[in-house]
Amino acid sequence: GAVVSQHPSRVICKSGTSVKIECRSLDFQATTMFWYRQFPKKSLMLMATSNEGSKATYEQGVEKDKFLINHASLTLSTLTVTSAHPEDSSFYICSVNDHRSSYEQYFGPGTRLTVT
Partner 1 sequence: AQSVTQLGSHVSVSEGALVLLRCNYSSSVPPYLFWYVQYPNQGLQLLLKYTTGATLVKGINGFEAEFKKSETSFHLTKPSAHMSDAAEYFCAVSDIRGSNYKLTFGKGTLLTVNP
Interface ranges with partner 1 (CB under 8 A): 1, 4, 6, 32, 34, 42-44, 46, 49, 51, 91, 93, 95, 97, 102-110, 112
- Nearest approach in angstroms of CB 96 to partner 1 is 11
In the complex with partner 1, the residue whose CB is nearer, 44 or 82, is: 44
In the complex with partner 1, the residue whose CB is nearer, 27 or 104, is: 104
In the complex with partner 1, the residue whose CB is nearer, 28 or 106, is: 106
Helix or strand or coil: residue 26?
Answer: coil
35 by Cβ neighbours in 10 Å (0-12 / 13-18 / 19+) ranks as buried
Helix or strand or coil: residue 88?
Answer: helix
**Degrees to nearest 5, angle at CA 4 with 55 and 85:** 60
